[in-house]
Amino acid sequence: MERLRNPREFSFVYSKGTPYFGRYVVVSALPTGKAVSRVGFAVSKKLGTAVTRNKVRRRLKAIVQELKDQFSPGYDVVIGAKRSAVGASFAQLNQDLRCTLEKSGLLAGAAEAAGSGEEHA
Among residues 7, 1, 5, 9, the alpha carbon closest in space to that of 101 is found at 1
Residue 23 belongs to domain spanning:
2-109
Question: Using one digit for the tens of pLDDT, what is the confidence trace for 39-74?
Answer: 999 999 999 999 999 999 999 999 999 998 998 899
Among residues 18, 96, 37, the alpha carbon closest in space to that of 63 is found at 96
**Which CATH number covers residue 51?**
3.30.230.10
The answer as to whether 117 is a domain residue is: no
pLDDT on residue 109: 59
pTM of the model: 0.85
Pairing assessment for the beta strands 18-21 and 2-3 based on DSSP bridges = unpaired
The answer as to whether 86 is a domain residue is: yes
Cα 108 off chain centre by: 14
For residue 1, is pLDDT > 90?
Answer: no
The answer as to whether 114 is a domain residue is: no
Banded pLDDT at 111 (limits 50, 70, 90): very low
